[in-house]
A = this chain, B = another copy of it.
Amino acid sequence: MAETAALAKAKPVPMTQVRIADAFWDDYIRLVKDVVVPYQWEAINDRVPGAEPSGAVRNFKIAAGLAQGDFYGFVFQDSDVAKWLEAVGYLLAKERDPDLEAVADGMIEIIAQAQQPDGYLNTYFTIKEPGRRWTNLMDCHELYCAGHMIEAAVSYYRATGKRRLLDVVIRFADYIDSVFGPEEGRLNGYDGHQEVELALVKLYEATEDRKYLRLAQYFLDARGTSPSFFEHEADGRGRRSHWGFTHRELELAYFQAHRPVREQTEAVGHAVRFAYMVAGMADVAAETGDEALLAACRRLWDNMTERQMYVTGGIGSMAQGEAFSFDYDLPNDTVYAETCASIGLVFVAHRMLQIEPDAKYADEMERALYNTVVGGMSLDGKHFFYVNPLEVDPKACGGRNKKFDHVKPVRQEWFGCACCPPNVARLLASLGEYVYAVKDDTVYVHLYVGGEADFRLPRTELKLIQRSDYPWSGSISFEVHPNQADASFTLALRLPGWSPSAVLRVNGEPIDYRTANGYARIERTWRAGDIVSLELEMPAMRLRCHPAVRANVGKTAIQRGPLVYCLEQADNGEALHELVLPATGELKVREAAHLLGGVRVIEAEGIRARAEPWNGGLYRPDAILRETGQNLTFIPYYAWANRGEGEMAVWVREC
């Protein structure tokens, strides 16, 4: 392993130093604290009436010897408890809460008791197949669950300073480190679902023990090498999968194990696994200065965002395998675009931003965040999308039409495989980490989220107060409070790709500024109370899609600021596919304070084009297209499906 120097990376500002106070996000974060996290606790304790049981907490109790019974749920059920704890950690970092902390401490105690004497921790194998640890890494998510528990431990430790869970995962990680590796006599393998890689880097950052970084790098280095570990492993168990069928041929690309990670060129396979892998790759590249790994990250990022990403920031267009399909294949209706995959995209973007602050990463991070991620949750915090379609006809969903089985026209209460809701919870609870970064004497503002933050620069400390009505308005202001006179540092404000022009003022005076990689850099000597105001032009605009995307040919999508808009049946009537938006014509922005929690809608004069009259039969040579004017109302995509079941479309025909 090359022990090269770490890259000089920008550091995110820890949760404890960022206090979000933002009209848009406060509601979501409050929902996470007041609704999602409490609900999730009930869910993993099997106390939600009418819901499918989870078994997750009970599994830990059984493994700890505190309850009797059999393991219940998916093989990765442990990760639900871990994600819950991780979200709790972020909430506590924002604001301590003794009651919540007591509940979490109790859970942590059970987890600690479920840990085996040698450090192993996994309730499925402990309860159900005690002799079969590490025999099916491809299917069984053992290291994936370990990774989530490590992330939980780091989050909880950083928030509370309590080491109980951190010590548990250190013992577990040490044990994993003794099992895996390229050396003779060790298991030369890796997990079917990437996650432990990025988690081990977090553990390294928390403990400063380089062993964990090396282990993360080992898992990445081993992946996809020849001969294939998964093939070898499958042979060892008679090619039987965990689910009982026989693998004749393994689809190694599903696991991104088809070739060494440094040689991968395209986003392939299961989208969440892919994104978590690239996040781990970026982490290791940043810490080791591994240029080949970093080049692979850039290549995979570019392929993902420039050829395989929906305008909503969704990735993984194929239900089969929850996977990427191929370049420019982005169907709007049979789409997958799992909420967790967009969260993974946010993770990757966040890490790439630390390595090379470039607005192209922040732009897509913002796109995923304000559209698919937030859209994954209902306005009441109680319903979730797993799949995020860009076009829905409720008639096509459910029933006997299996092609759309995975697409739900309204958000669901919870899921048997409950990965998305807790993933949304942990991301929103940790949103503070995504807003700023510091590198040398530059403060980067990646996201326009109101609140206060404290920064420690090499030569000064400062407080920054951000205020805005984002994403509704592009007027953002910053109040700068260095803790010393004549503090000299750079404030680098992202100029979003969607904004045609920006005006920057300091204390009311327009200033000249240098732009580097999409950031306006204000280099000056600051005085307490300096006001920076940024005016981002935020027009409602028509987007066109790359001509190779068949699904969007002849169509346009509306975006304003970071928000992608859509047509809903509730505003525009049935048969949205009959609607056409002229290529010219005003897009009017209207404030709708009482709609969907308060949004701005976009209105335009459109056309309903319908072949009429139509009496029987499917195909007619004499059908005449009748066009009638219709006012079109677009709402933000994230807010769709909050008014019952109905059609929705992001892309609309253009004429």
Contact = CB atoms under 8 A, between A and B. Distances in A.
A305 B618 CA distance: 8
B323 A618 contact: no
Contacts of A498: 621
Interface string A252-293: 011000000000000011000000000000000000000000
A77 interface: no
A543 B403 contact: no
A300 to B, nearest CB: 16
B653 A306 contact: no
A206 interface: no
Contacts of A580: 554
Contacts of A307: 618
Contacts of A331: 403
Given A400-B326, A402-B321, A619 B545 contact: yes
Contact of A578 (B305, B306, B542, B547): B547
A544 interface: yes
A550 B394 CA distance: 13
A417 B577 CA distance: 38
A614 interface: yes
Contact of A403 (B251, B334, B396, B544): B334
A107 interface: no
Interface string A543-575: 111111110011001010000000000000001
A611 B393 contact: no
Contacts of A253: 400
A531 interface: no
A248 interface: no
Nearest to A323: B400
A80 B575 CA distance: 45
Nearest to A621: B541
A559 B269 CA distance: 41
A610 B311 CA distance: 19
A620 interface: yes
Contacts of A595: none
Contacts of A402: 318, 320-321
Nearest to A254: B400
Interface in A480-499: 498
A611 B546 contact: yes
A617 interface: yes
User: How many identical subunits does the complex contain?
Assistant: 2
B326 A543 contact: no
Contacts of A403: 318-320, 325, 331, 334
Interface string A348-369: 0000000000000000000000
A583 B253 CA distance: 45
B554 A554 contact: yes
Contact of A553 (B311, B577, B612): B577
Contacts of A610: 547
Interface in A574-630: 575, 577-578, 580, 583, 609-612, 614, 616-621, 623, 625
A583 B625 CA distance: 10
A395 interface: yes
A370 to B, nearest CB: 14
Contacts of A653: 553-554
Contacts of A329: 396, 401
Nearest to A654: B625
Nearest to A555: B554
A543 B625 CA distance: 12
Contact of A611 (B269, B547, B575, B619): B547
Interface residues of A, number: 66
B306 A616 contact: yes
B334 A623 contact: no
Nearest to A266: B400
A618 to B, nearest CB: 5
A309 interface: yes
A544 B403 CA distance: 25
A328 to B, nearest CB: 8
Interface in A516-545: 541-545
A264 to B, nearest CB: 13
A399 interface: yes
A625 B544 contact: yes
A265 B268 CA distance: 43
A311 B546 CA distance: 29
Contacts of A655: 655
Contacts of A325: 396, 400-401, 403
Contacts of A621: 498, 500, 541-544, 559
A507 to B, nearest CB: 32
A117 to B, nearest CB: 38
Interface string A447-485: 000000000000000000000000000000000000000
Nearest to A325: B401
Interface in A400-451: 400-403
Contacts of A330: 618
Nearest to A317: B403
Nearest to A580: B554
Given A320-B402, A395-B326, A549 B614 contact: no
26 contacts: A305-B618, A306-B617, A311-B619, A325-B400, A325-B403, A326-B396, A326-B399, A329-B396, A329-B401, A333-B550, A498-B621, A500-B621, A543-B620, A544-B625, A545-B618, A546-B618, A546-B619, A547-B578, A547-B610, A547-B611, A547-B612, A547-B614, A549-B618, A550-B577, A554-B653, A559-B619
Interface of A: 251, 253-254, 268-269, 305-307, 309, 311, 318-321, 323, 325-326, 329-331, 333-334, 393, 395-396, 399-403, 498, 500, 541-550, 553-554, 557, 559, 575, 577-578, 580, 583, 609-612, 614, 616-621, 623, 625, 653, 655
